[in-house]
Amino acid sequence: MNQMTIAPLLDIQDLTVRFRGLVAVDHVSFQVEAGTVHGLIGPNGAGKTTCFNLISGLIPPTSGSAVLAGVALDGLPSWKRTRAGLSRTFQNIRMFQEMTVRENVMTGMQARLQASVPEILSRTGRFRPEEVAAKTRAEELLEFVGLTASADRRAGDLPYGDQRRLEIARALASEPKLLLLDEPAAGMNPAETQDLVGLLNRLKQGGLTLLLVEHDMHFVMSLCDRITVLNFGRKIAEGSPREIRENPAVIEAYLGAKTAERLKDGAA
């Protein structure tokens, strides 16, 4: 046996946030290993999105810590977390509706650009080569998510499933190590969901680590290497997809007996 232990890419310890009387996330600890797809599941209101908001720095925790690739995230603003390798999508899609699809992807690159403000304003120095490189990278990302033909469309005019894929392209533009996806398949039809499985698997094969919140259990079980389950802000289970779908506490709190049976047959 190799005695060396490799640190997890994301290490969450005792994360807690209290909103007035409600403890929305209650002493939650879990680790996401590099190169894996990790699921975060649980009933509505369990605290999944709030966990993402804590990890990405949108809200401060009451207590607890998060370390990404050896960098303590505590107290860092969101943009510094992006620089440390974190990116996310939102349950309620957030994008610039009036901008084109391509421009939306380019907004995701800001954390990577080196040009100074005077260089950007005068369009000189490092600005020009960076703008050319950013456009090229945007084309690559749009091709990757299958939106090349829509590059010049107004983002707000895209069908819902396409907007979800645009959000992923924008999130990838900052070249993250870890991508948090909050219900990426919500509102997608079965064909789009199937395509999304392929897309996320390709990202995994490319070495990206994913932390995934999703209610579509077939989707979750087919993608995830490991799953953490929340209920009323607390972690109630963690394990492989098989362990999770057979866990009585998870069946009781979330899956229900019928869904657990169907997942066993591979047809949830």
Ligand X SMILES: Nc1ncnc2c1ncn2[C@@H]1O[C@H](COP(=O)(O)OP(=O)(O)OP(=O)(O)O)[C@@H](O)[C@H]1O
How far apart, in whole angstroms, are the C-alpha atoms of residue 86 and residue 176?
5
Give min distance, CB of 251 to ligand X, in A.
Answer: 18
Structure token digits, residue 252: 């009781």
Give min distance, CB of 91 to Mg ion, in A.
Answer: 5
* All residues at 6 or more sequence positions from 138 whose CB lies less than 8 Å from its CB, including other chains: 102, 105, 106, 109, 151, 169, 173
Is 45 a binding residue for ligand X by CB under 6 A? The answer is yes
Candidates 12, 15, 24, 188; binder of ligand X (CB under 6 A) is 24
Kindly calculate the radius of gyration of the chain based on its CA atoms and give it in whole angstroms. Answer: 19
Residue 160 interacts, among ligand X, Mg ion, none and using kind-specific CB cut-offs from 5 to 8 Å, with none
**Residue for token digits 């907007």?**
163
Structural contact between residues 215 and 183, judged by C-beta atoms closer than 8 angstroms: yes
Binding string, 195-234, against ligand X, x = CB under 6 A? ----------------------------------------
Beta strands in the chain (DSSP E): 10-19, 22-32, 37-41, 63-68, 71-72, 86-88, 178-182, 209-213, 226-231, 234-239
Give min distance, CB of 236 to Mg ion, in A.
Answer: 17
Candidates 2, 5, 44, 92; binder of ligand X (CB under 6 A) is 44
Is 65 a binding residue for ligand X by CB under 6 A? The answer is no
Task: Give the interface with ligand X as residue ranges (CB under 6 A).
Answer: 19, 22, 24, 42, 44-50, 91
Task: Give the interface with Mg ion as residue ranges (CB under 5 A).
Answer: 48-49, 91
